[in-house]
Structure 1
């Protein structure tokens, strides 16, 4: 089958993505706790073990809280087939446009429903095929395979019919051709008809169980003395699926099912022989390309549902425009995790970022807890979702074509490595400088907080020119306002507060000059010494 992917236009792009995914930067020496539960007699024991977690998610993914947005359905881990997408940046804008067109197609409810039906049915096909290899009873293996074969055809045919009427994008039209080639394979329709015929005959096998004392009598002919049917007629009860029991819904059979299936083989020897002969030929199902389509469609569907949930809350969404230039124009952005936890857009402050050509980035300063880190994170999230082709929270979004996103967020000192906090920061930034290509976005949050303000200022001034040499765009959240006042090629942004109430945060990030001294009210509040706090303590007799 010809190459196809919802993520890449050709095999070369996929190979490049795999290469990029192996070149990410991870925090060193981090551990997570794994829990294992087992029973000792009637007592449940929970055992916790520390395991290395450093190479699970790269720095930018964790610092931007992207796992909560993109990996919630995967339990926070990078699944196979998706990892390369999430850890790579396309070399050309056309690949991103290719992905955007697919998301736009999913805005059509008919296509969304068709893709969702395919995803659900294909998941069932894979489950049935697994059961067919795990079952230890030949006839039961055959039944699972027949179920999978029939559902596989309907799965492909259903998606084909949907796309034939609705597809507009290059990606889905390529998929349409692929599905048609699959359906038009020589002898495939006859194979489906034969599988359907055998499956229908097996489905029509019903038996009546009559229990008397310590024996169970099995009758494959309809028993005229069926007590359940007699009661149903007397009381005029409607037919209900609860009147029957469906067996054989798992790979392993219980003793009763094993005995019953041997009786089926004796009662219907010709049908069972035909089923076993048909399965022995075992035409392969679940083509690798369609398995890839299943995994990739699941990611697109979850992305569409994420966007739909944000729209319901009133958040503005748009498809970013990417160009080969260095300017940023983001209007109305916010942190996605904040948006997901909010009841509506009215509960969240939306912010902007405007960087003209020649402006290398922005220093973000201001009061503590004023939204600076959240703002920087929202810029990174917006840039990354744009690479995936997803709609982003914004009224308008114009971004440069980025070759990577690199982050450096301050963390607690790590006792797993033998370096102090400052030295570990320097090691991390050295790796960034060595690995980052040209035209990347760098989000630096409170660097060098473990040293003096003067040293932090000097170290930052040494770092920034090296990032600019790589044509990088820098968003630097800092506790050192002197950096913003001496900026070269950077704009200054400030976390705003209400003028009439100097300590009440608005969470708006605006253009402005950094304050060169700390706000006394912040220090007073920290130590519970503001005017209102002192009055309250006096009134309470403290």
Structure 2
């Protein structure tokens, strides 16, 4: 049995190799906040959510396939949580049994496999019962296929057949084995036989004719005889024990995959409930094909900031379709970095099949997401900050492919204005020639002004708004780069207010 709730044609693999830049993305986009909310202190949910978020889908059909399944889960959260609980119970079934441990003792393997399989059958019956009751509420192709598989594979005939086999394998009436004798009367070619199930009436047993047979008895104190008989029994049931053990493994693997794939959707449900409690909107994004320059959204906000502050966050509206460079300047603490983080988070969430933190969102699928953020001073650095920035940029370039999305935040500002502007200008032009898409937050006026003077149709310039009294709106609007970032506003706020307070 297959689950197919994450991919249309394959299983979701845990412990798959994650992107080489996962640590940078984790730090720059503050992904820990997002993942902790999805996990709700469940380590398994955290692990699955992390791997799903970092394992991007790179085609529109795959994103929409998972997105439709998520819509089903959001519409039926109690049913999905019930399925998840059943899958967890199934994985707990082997605990307390010797199953799979005493691999050299067929009798122990068989007995424990019978016990575990009996528990698993009960759980499979529960899953079918859930499907019989609730499958009509699920409309996605993935869940419809899942419920159809449950109905076809887990029929009444199937459960009755398994029940009878498990009953027979308990060998309550003893074990019937055939064998051949070799030199020295050593047994070989042991074959487990099915015992006759019909019971004779007492008159038939009394007067009936039976085939000639020989028997022997072992006394209670004959340890050697008991050991020899036990070895013969193990030889006879060995194949049956291994077959049932493998069947049990197969059923357990189904439950393991069901739990793993449902864990992602449980994480999404947990996240949506927290955001709904805050009062923030959610939208199912419209992904466009790789290479199409789309970025259009309403009320896009930083989901991690909202989760941290536990209150609604001011979002942004923007239509930057057909643009490859979005350059962002403006007042200090005006919301530029927050906006940049919201872009990266929304892209990751869209490309793993999730909803996004916005009222509406449309964006092109990127071949990779990269961040180049200014780092705090590190005393362990063996070279200067500019060398460190250029080294990270070189590493990013080594991994780039056309139509990647790169987020720059105050990059190349570790040197003087002229040198930093020239470095940034050359890197941006080279990346645009290689068909990359860039969001670039900067305070380098020479760099921003030069691009604005020579701007092309593929560029758009945004500026963090500042009111006349110095108040920040924390929203971005199209605007020409200015020479000042209004740092004096911060000076007056910090020092003048402290003097008044003093």
The answer to whether residue 304 in structure 2 is matched with residue 337 in structure 1 is yes
Partners of 2:306 and 2:164 in 1: how far apart?
50
Structure 1: 5+ residue stretches without partners: 27-56, 199-275
Q: Is the 8 A contact 1:316 1:395 kept in 2?
A: yes
Structure 2: 5+ residue stretches without partners: 103-107, 170-236
Q: Which string of whole-angstrom CA distances, capped at 9 and with x for unpartnered residues, describes residues 81-107 of structure 1?
A: 666533333232000000110111123
**Partner residue, 2:355:** 391
Q: Which string of whole-angstrom CA distances, capped at 9 and with x for unpartnered residues, describes residues 181-237 of structure 1?
A: 4414975434358879x9xxxxxxxxxxxxxxxxxxxxxxxxxxxxxxxxxxxxxxx
> Given the superposition, is the C-alpha separation of residues 520 and 392 from structure 1 closer, same or farther in structure 2, using an over 3 Å criterion?
closer
Partners of 1:333 and 1:519 in 2: how far apart?
25
Per-residue deviation, 1:322: 1.5
The answer to whether residue 60 in structure 2 is matched with residue 93 in structure 1 is yes
Q: Is the 8 A contact 2:302 2:339 kept in 1?
A: yes
**Partner residue, 1:7:** 6
SS in 2 for 1:95: helix
Partners of 2:359 and 2:18 in 1: how far apart?
34
TM-score, length basis structure 1:
0.68
Q: Which string of whole-angstrom CA distances, capped at 9 and with x for unpartnered residues, describes residues 447-473 of structure 1?
A: 123211222111111111222133222
The answer to whether residue 175 in structure 2 is matched with residue 180 in structure 1 is no
**Partner residue, 1:494:** 463
Q: Is the 8 A contact 2:35 2:46 kept in 1?
A: no
Structure 2 matches for 1:84-233, cutoff 5 A?
85-109=52-76, 112-133=77-98, 145=116, 148-162=119-133, 164-184=135-155, 187-192=158-163
Q: Which string of whole-angstrom CA distances, capped at 9 and with x for unpartnered residues, describes residues 54-101 of structure 1?
A: xxx432233111232135527789976666533333232000000110
Q: Which string of whole-angstrom CA distances, capped at 9 and with x for unpartnered residues, describes residues 282-314 of structure 1?
A: 550544243112111011121022123323332
The answer to whether residue 309 in structure 2 is matched with residue 308 in structure 1 is no
Partners of 2:260 and 2:374 in 1: how far apart?
35
4+ aligned runs moved over 4 Å, structure 1: 74-84, 138-144, 192-196, 276-283
Structure 2 matches for 1:427-506, cutoff 5 A?
427-487=391-451, 488=455, 489-499=458-468, 501-502=469-470, 504-506=471-473
The answer to whether residue 421 in structure 2 is matched with residue 422 in structure 1 is no
Q: Is the 8 A contact 1:131 1:141 kept in 2?
A: no
> Given the superposition, is the C-alpha separation of residues 395 and 498 from structure 1 closer, same or farther in structure 2, using an over 3 Å criterion?
same
Q: Is the 8 A contact 1:122 1:155 kept in 2?
A: no
Structure 2 matches for 1:356-367, cutoff 5 A?
356-357=321-322, 359-367=323-331
Per-residue deviation, 1:321: 0.9
**Greater relative CO, 1 or 2 (CA 8 Å, sep 6+):** 2
> Given the superposition, is the C-alpha separation of residues 76 and 374 from structure 1 closer, same or farther in structure 2, using an over 3 Å criterion?
farther
Asked which structure has the greater CA Rg, the reply is: 2
Q: Is the 8 A contact 2:45 2:264 kept in 1?
A: no
**Partner residue, 2:208:** none
Q: Is the 8 A contact 2:297 2:318 kept in 1?
A: yes
SS in 2 for 1:58: helix
Partners of 2:427 and 2:8 in 1: how far apart?
37
Per-residue deviation, 1:382: 1.0
Partners of 1:408 and 1:308 in 2: how far apart?
32
Q: Is the 8 A contact 1:365 1:372 kept in 2?
A: yes
Partners of 1:356 and 1:494 in 2: how far apart?
18
Per-residue deviation, 1:148: 3.1
Per-residue deviation, 1:478: 1.0
CA RMSD of aligned residues (A): 3.6
Partners of 1:81 and 1:189 in 2: how far apart?
35
> Given the superposition, is the C-alpha separation of residues 102 and 520 from structure 1 closer, same or farther in structure 2, using an over 3 Å criterion?
closer
Q: 2:339 aligns with which of 375, 391, 397?
A: 375
Partners of 1:493 and 1:506 in 2: how far apart?
14
> Given the superposition, is the C-alpha separation of residues 122 and 469 from structure 1 closer, same or farther in structure 2, using an over 3 Å criterion?
same
Q: Is the 8 A contact 2:297 2:362 kept in 1?
A: yes
Per-residue deviation, 1:413: 3.7
Q: Which string of whole-angstrom CA distances, capped at 9 and with x for unpartnered residues, describes residues 456-497 of structure 1?
A: 111111111222133222111112133222223422212212
The count of residues paired between Structure 1 and Structure 2 equals: 417
Q: Is the 8 A contact 1:331 1:351 kept in 2?
A: yes
Partners of 1:404 and 1:349 in 2: how far apart?
27
Per-residue deviation, 1:156: 2.6
Partners of 1:426 and 1:78 in 2: how far apart?
37
Q: Which string of whole-angstrom CA distances, capped at 9 and with x for unpartnered residues, describes residues 18-57 of structure 1?
A: 9xx647233xxxxxxxxxxxxxxxxxxxxxxxxxxxxxx4
> Given the superposition, is the C-alpha separation of residues 394 and 129 from structure 1 closer, same or farther in structure 2, using an over 3 Å criterion?
same
The answer to whether residue 333 in structure 2 is matched with residue 350 in structure 1 is no
**Partner residue, 1:514:** 481
